[in-house]
Amino acid sequence: MVGGGQLARMTHQAAISLGQSLRVLSEKPDDSAALVAADVPIGTHTDLAALREFAKGCDAVTFDHEHVPTEHIEALEAEGVKIFPGSKALVFAQDKGMMRERLAALGAPVPRWARVTTGEEIEAFAGGSWPVVAKATRGGYDGRGVWMVGSREAADDLVSTGISLIVEEKVPLRRELAALVARSPFGQVAAYPVVETVQRDGICVEVVAPAPGLSEERALEAQQLAIDLATSLGVVGLLAVELFETDAGIVVNELAMRPHNSGHWTIEGARTSQFEQHLRAVLDYPMGSTALAAPVVVMANVLGGEPGGISIDERLHHLFATDPGARVHLYGKQIRPGRKIGHVTVLGDDLHEVRARAVRAAKWLQEGV
């Protein structure tokens, strides 16, 4: 797996039970996955020579992020390296302009959008209806690379940075959903229950499975959409389809072709975790069951808090004494305010109780109060 973050760390945990060894290309020896995996070459994902050396002896290569240059992936594929998802699929998760063009061609529900290079073009797209959403075509995540543009002056300022951009209409959404599916080279697919994701400042802070109050018809529509996209794009591995739910239906926001924050709940909350499912897909194993392990599952991200207070270890001690059923995953990352350093998952029967427990546990681990 290229990338040494928490996604690689949790994929490594899943690999162990399958009798597999995960090699991790990590930028630093203290990255999240590098702290726990045994085979950790140090190198960057932008260095083709490092990628070539890393891939030697690997049965398959996959990713914990979308930032490997497309031309590097193509070069490795030409040399016979088995890479999943392949460059022809992954580019639609790497480049938002190409994603929008392809989804529109497939007839998938997408917001009104356009490629832009000038403030004048952004103003024309807005048509007097500000704000509009501007996105960097490559490289954004967790709210980075996304701007709410409310005027021509703001548009001119953004364009002056030289960033390649698309703009989209601001969708009047009820809430955000995510549909997670996995697909093998053989073409088998497995779909997880559709979840509701709660965002704050561009960062996912909470995931509720299954999405509360979502009709069976709408849930099946979202799952079928994700399956159709995985098949049409030729995805091997996981595909996370981030969705806006509106009064009129569902709209595709983003795609990710890797384990995804919206699927962390599956470690305890589904019969097969997303991390094991990704490995099964990449290795062309039959897919595992995606059934829920409890009627309600809630995952809350633990974000880094302000320095001071009692240690994380002491916070864990008190949390486990208070709520023995809360499942905690810490990523071994240096704590910075607002940074994802772990998550908590709670299972149960009552939505309000389970949600309150998960949010309370994550808040306690973050703040210590």
Q: Is 170 annotated as a binding residue?
A: yes
Structure letter (DSSP) for residue 265: T
Q: Is 217 annotated as a binding residue?
A: no
Q: Using CA of residue 337, residue 338, residue 339, residue 343, what is the dihedral sign? A: positive
Residue with tokens 């299954």: 210
Rounded-to-integer distance, Cα 73 and Cα 52, Å = 10
Q: Is 340 annotated as a binding residue?
A: no
Give, in order, the Cα–Cα distances in Å from 151 to each of 88, 129, 157, 160.
Answer: 36, 10, 10, 14
- Report yes or no: 308 and 289 within 8 Å, Cβ to Cβ: no
Q: Is 254 annotated as a binding residue?
A: yes
Order of strands across the sheet that contains 113-116? 113-116, 165-168, 132-136, 146-149
- Which residues are within 8 A (CB) of 255 and not within 5 positions of it... i.e. 6 or more apart? 92, 93, 99, 229, 239, 240, 241, 242
Q: Where are the beta strands (DSSP E) in the chain?
A: 113-116, 132-136, 146-149, 165-168, 175-183, 189-191, 195-200, 203-209, 237-245, 250-256, 296-303, 327-330, 340-348
R_g of the chain computed on alpha carbons: 20
- Report yes or no: 236 and 85 within 8 Å, Cβ to Cβ: yes
Structure letter (DSSP) for residue 263: G
Q: Is 306 annotated as a binding residue?
A: no
- Report yes or no: 152 and 128 within 8 Å, Cβ to Cβ: no
Q: Is 171 annotated as a binding residue?
A: yes
Least Cα distance to 14 among 309, 237, 168 occurs for: 237
Q: Is 245 annotated as a binding residue?
A: no
Q: What are the binding residues for ATP?
A: 96, 135, 168-171, 176, 253-254
Q: What are the binding residues?
A: 96, 135, 168-171, 176, 253-254
